[in-house]
Amino acid sequence: MDKIIFPKNSLFLVTGGAGFIGSNLCEAILQMGYKVRCVDDFSTGRINNIREFFQNKNFELIKMDIKNFQACRKICNGVDYVLHQAAWGSVPRSVMLPHFYAENNIMGIINMLESAREAKVKKFVYASSSSVYGDESTLPKKEGMEGNLLSPYAVTKMAAEEYAKQYYRHYGLDTYGLRYFNVFGRRQNSNEYAAVLPKFITRLLKNEEPIIMGDGSQSRDFTYIDNVIQANFLACKAQSIFAGDVYNIAVGERKTIISLYNDLVKYLRKDIKPKFSNESKGDIKHSLADITKAKQALKYNPQYDFAQGMRLTVDWYKENLM
């Protein structure tokens, strides 16, 4: 990919900046020589993800909750680009806490959209999710072919997309929704609600049996973190005619959970059999993205396939967990 260049002294605001995707975005912005304002309430974000940036003069950390509208207005002052990653993830947890998810994921983005509009931010790029495709069984998943939503989490992401479209339509705020497909990579949390890859890796490194929900035949379009970073920056550079819309961000390849597991044990040289459990509530069975629209509008071209990303991720966990 060609180097993406922004005006000198550009200021990026990253919400959820101490989280998995947010901290990687902060790091990339600093490496490019631009300023970053990292915002997090540390409910799920971790200080260790961003500690190495504290000595960088271009890094600013603000601890706050995006449910606080007045605080959102303050943090948007002087900002050129908003990369809105702050949200509560996990489909199963959202089924248990629907009201909490609506408060955080829907009101949070509304507060940020309104604040960005007032501050005349150039671009507002936000994280959506493949969960908005719901029970639509057609593969690959294509923008405009959404089905019935299967979880409160998916509802919050669809609501976020609709609000962002309204802010473009009525107020001219350039919004770009990135529908992430199963992102994985360095700094990803391995707690009970984490994605499957960090859970598998950490358990295998400890010589423990990973748990596979269901029979392992479910499939996903696993997307390495650096592809997602590329997509965020490309959206910031996109032409305004492509604003007010949503884009699949993935690789366009499908992998079953059991084949992923087999690749991991082979790479780690482990002889550990997984345990099988009941399927998670609200999870879709298969996921595969059509990334044509993102390629055409955003010039998105994923640089890492699953195998490359998996090896880089495993190596990172080996270094940081052992």
Range 61-77 average pLDDT: 97
pLDDT score at 80: 98
Domain that holds residue 299: 11-186+224-252+290-303
Q: Are strands 81-84 and 59-63 parallel, antiparallel or unpaired?
A: unpaired
pLDDT score at 186: 95
Q: Is residue 205 part of a domain?
A: no
Range 95-101 average pLDDT: 95
Q: Residue 212 belongs to what H/E stretch?
A: strand 211-213
- At residue 2 the predicted structure's pLDDT band, cuts being 50, 70 and 90, is low
CB atoms within 10 A of CB 157: 30
Task: Express each pLDDT in 225-265 by its tens digit.
Answer: 999 999 999 999 999 999 999 999 999 999 999 999 999 99
pLDDT score at 192: 57
Task: Express each pLDDT in 135-178 by its tens digit.
Answer: 998 999 999 999 999 999 999 999 999 999 999 999 999 999 99
Percent of the chain with pLDDT over 70: 97
pLDDT score at 191: 67
Q: Is residue 276 part of a domain?
A: no
Q: Is residue 99 part of a domain?
A: yes
- At residue 1 the predicted structure's pLDDT band, cuts being 50, 70 and 90, is low
Alpha carbon of 55 to those of 36, 41, 250: distances in Å?
13, 20, 33
> Is residue 278 predicted with pLDDT exceeding 90?
no
> Helix, strand or coil for residue 131?
helix
Q: What is the pTM for the complete model shown?
A: 0.94
Instruction: In whole angstroms, give the CA distance from residue 106 to residue 15.
Output: 14
Q: Is residue 320 part of a domain?
A: no
pLDDT score at 285: 82
CA 141 to chain centre: 17
pLDDT score at 281: 64
Number of independent structural domains in the chain: 1
How many Å is the maximal CA-CA distance in the chain?
Answer: 58
Task: Express each pLDDT in 104-117 by its tens digit.
Answer: 999 999 999 999 99
- At residue 215 the predicted structure's pLDDT band, cuts being 50, 70 and 90, is confident
Q: Is residue 121 part of a domain?
A: yes
pLDDT score at 212: 86
The CA angle 12-153-44, to the nearest 5 degrees, is 55
Task: Express each pLDDT in 178-203 by its tens digit.
Answer: 999 999 999 998 765 557 898 999 99
Q: Is residue 16 part of a domain?
A: yes
CATH number (domain holding residue 64): 3.40.50.720
- At residue 277 the predicted structure's pLDDT band, cuts being 50, 70 and 90, is confident
Contact 257/220 with Cβ under 8 angstroms?
A: yes
- The answer to whether 133 is a known catalytic residue is no
Q: Which residue is catalytic, options 153, 176, 224, 247?
A: 153
DSSP string, 68-89: -HHHHHHHTTT-SEEEE-----
Task: Express each pLDDT in 291-308 by its tens digit.
Answer: 999 999 999 999 999 999
Q: Is residue 196 part of a domain?
A: no
Task: Express each pLDDT in 16-56 by its tens digit.
Answer: 999 999 999 999 999 999 999 999 999 999 999 999 999 99
> Is residue 280 predicted with pLDDT exceeding 80?
no
**pLDDT greater at residue 102 or residue 194:** 102
The amino acid at 84? H
- At residue 289 the predicted structure's pLDDT band, cuts being 50, 70 and 90, is very high
The amino acid at 255? K
Lookup: tokens for 58: 């271009």
